[in-house]
Amino acid sequence: MELGASVVVCGRSQAALDRFAQAHPQALAVRADVTDAADRAALLQAVADRFGRLDVLVNNAGTFEERDYVAGKNPNATLDAEVALNLTAPIHLTGEVLERWPEPDAIVFITSGFALVSPTRAPTHGAVKAGLHGFADGLRRQLAPQGSHVLEVLPPSTDTPMNAEATGKKLAPEQVAAVTMKALRRRRNMAFPGQTKVMPAMLRIAPGTLRRVVAAL
């Protein structure tokens, strides 16, 4: 908004949306569950009605679920919901956006450093983020001839309400946003905010060390 863009946000919490709308009255806040097809359709229609088009899609919704497969109990009780929110919903929404607006300026996927090295305590989180990483990679090549930019952002733990109870170092959302905007301007394929910026090099020269570090997270 500070750069002159018209902004639409969506979420499932009406209270959070109301706070956002009060702070940013020029933006559009829509209550929608991106795992629900009807909600996604209503969201895109609201964008069309208000602005006529969508130039940049940011797929940011997600959750983190720890699962212990050696604890002697079924760890998959909420697996379908995790996969739906972290993987299939952004794929559905991206496809629906491209059906309405076939040549967006950019599509952004917020994945995680865990897309490259899966966390020991949350292997399904690594799996879904790796799946979204693969989708972004293939989609990038499909959309390249028409000039649409596909950016994947791989932040570390970020100081958001989802991580409010998490301990350890957390990156400020503003830092992630700044790195994302810089990568969009430079049309980078991937952006590594904060401590994830060392991951590509470590995967090349010290993959075992990187996996040990991730195992301890």
- Can you give the pLDDT at residue 118? 93
Q: What is the largest CA-CA distance in the chain?
A: 54
- Distance of alpha carbon 191 from alpha carbon 153, whole angstroms: 5
Q: For every one of its 217 residues, what pLDDT tens digit does the chain have, with 9 covering 90 and above?
A: 456 789 999 999 999 999 999 999 999 999 999 999 999 999 999 999 999 999 999 999 999 999 999 998 899 999 999 999 999 999 999 999 999 999 999 999 999 999 999 999 999 999 999 999 999 999 999 999 999 999 999 998 886 666 556 656 778 889 999 999 999 999 999 999 988 888 889 888 998 888 888 776 6
- Can you give the pLDDT at residue 2? 57
Evaluate whether 170 touches 159 at the Cβ level (below 8 Å): yes
Terminal CA-CA length for the chain: 35
Q: Where are the beta strands (DSSP E) in the chain?
A: 8-11, 28-31, 56-59, 106-110, 149-153, 190-191
193, burial (CB in 10 Å: exposed 0-12, middle 13-18, buried 19+)? buried
The pTM of the full predicted model, rounded to 2 decimals, is 0.91
- Can you give the pLDDT at residue 161? 64
CATH topology of domain 54-215: Rossmann fold (3.40.50)
- Can you give the pLDDT at residue 44? 98
- Can you give the pLDDT at residue 200? 87
